[in-house]
Chains A and B, each alone.
Chain A
Amino acid sequence: MKPFTHVAGKDCGRIVFYGLSTCVWCKKTRRLLDDLGVAYDYVYVDLLNDEERERAMAEVRRWNPNESFPTLVFNEANCVLGYDEEKIKAAVKL
């Protein structure tokens, strides 16, 4: 079973959000995605059990060797690290 939660919205390709439930920059990033009204999948890595967490971290490392949060992956092609309003808006291409 995949640990992701889906948020419905406009289809802008597959957007995957990796974050932490305690992180304020992660909260701001999700608020931005919600305000933009796009569809995305999110997961809070700190809430996962060990096995799921290792799998999620392996995926985060593929895009972001610094292993920081939030990590946003767009269409399995590019990623935006941290809360970066301009880069996120550019990547969403509304």
Chain B
Amino acid sequence: MKKEIEISDAAVDALLQKLQREAEASGYHLNNDRKFVRELVGGLLVNQQRYGYAACPCRLAAGEKAADLDIICPCDYRDADLNEFGACFCALYVGPEVSEGRKQAASIPERRPPASQRRAAKAEISAGAPLGKLSQPVWRCKVCGYLCARGEPPDICPICKAKKERFERFM
């Protein structure tokens, strides 16, 4: 059995402040439940140490980055869950209703397809639709849906700050 990793309060504080700043800057909200969020941020730091990237603390990471890209926080499923349930799967990110105390965050159904389906879907993905009359390819940020028409995706999504590797060819 693997050992649990200890995370310092100072490390949690530092990451929490950074996430808070970034969330507010791009129109997102972190859960106001301080204790709950500190535990989640601790989980992110554990996964950062364990895998080398901050995989979702509420999902089982494969430990291979290519297989876990969709669950690096913020995950590909966050925005859809915010829209449908008012919180992401972990409830680290919450919508305005939860943020303003009009609704309580709850455990929600898992939107991420199971591993077998993810593998099948990956095999089907082509290089994208034919270019047609577009002068540039269109790239889509899989985290927030931001679209940009340019030779290649930006290094960092200007909207949600996801990294380049999280973009997909859209058109």
Partner-B contacts on A (CB < 8 A): 3, 20-27, 45-49, 52, 57, 61, 65-69, 81-84
Q: Using a Cβ cutoff of 8 Å, how many contacts connect chains A and B?
A: 70
17 A-B pairs besides A23-B90, A25-B90 with CB distance below 8 A are A22-B58, A24-B40, A24-B57, A24-B90, A26-B58, A46-B2, A47-B3, A47-B4, A48-B1, A49-B2, A57-B60, A61-B114, A67-B60, A68-B59, A68-B110, A82-B109, A83-B106
- Contact call B57/A22, Cβ cutoff below 8 A: yes
Could you say which of A25, A52, A67, A81 contacts B115, with CB atoms under 8 Å apart?
A67
- Contact call A82/B108, Cβ cutoff below 8 A: yes
Q: B95 on the interface (CB 8 Å rule)?
A: no
B60-73 interface bits toward A, Cβ cutoff 8 Å, 1 = contact, 0 = none: 11000000000000
Chain A residues near B99 (CB, 8 Å)?
Answer: none
A25-B107, A66-B109, A66-B110 given; A20·B58 CB < 8 A: yes
A54 to B71, CA, bound (A): 20
Number of interface residues of B (CB under 8 A): 27
Chain B residues near A26 (CB, 8 Å)?
Answer: 58
A82 to B91, CA, bound (A): 12
Chain B residues near A82 (CB, 8 Å)?
Answer: 107-109
Closest residue of chain A to B7 (Cβ to Cβ) is: A22
A20 to B55, CA, bound (A): 12
A24-B39, A24-B43, A25-B58 given; A48·B107 CB < 8 A: no
Closest residue of chain A to B92 (Cβ to Cβ) is: A24
List 22 A–B pairs whose Cβ atoms lie within 8 Å, in order of A's numbering: A20-B60, A21-B46, A22-B43, A22-B44, A22-B57, A23-B57, A24-B36, A24-B39, A24-B43, A24-B57, A24-B90, A26-B58, A46-B60, A47-B1, A47-B3, A47-B4, A49-B1, A52-B1, A67-B60, A69-B58, A82-B107, A82-B108
Closest residue of chain A to B50 (Cβ to Cβ) is: A46
A3 to B2, CA, bound (A): 11
- Contact call B57/A47, Cβ cutoff below 8 A: no
Closest residue of chain B to A1 (Cβ to Cβ) is: B1
A67-B114, A83-B107 given; A24·B58 CB < 8 A: yes
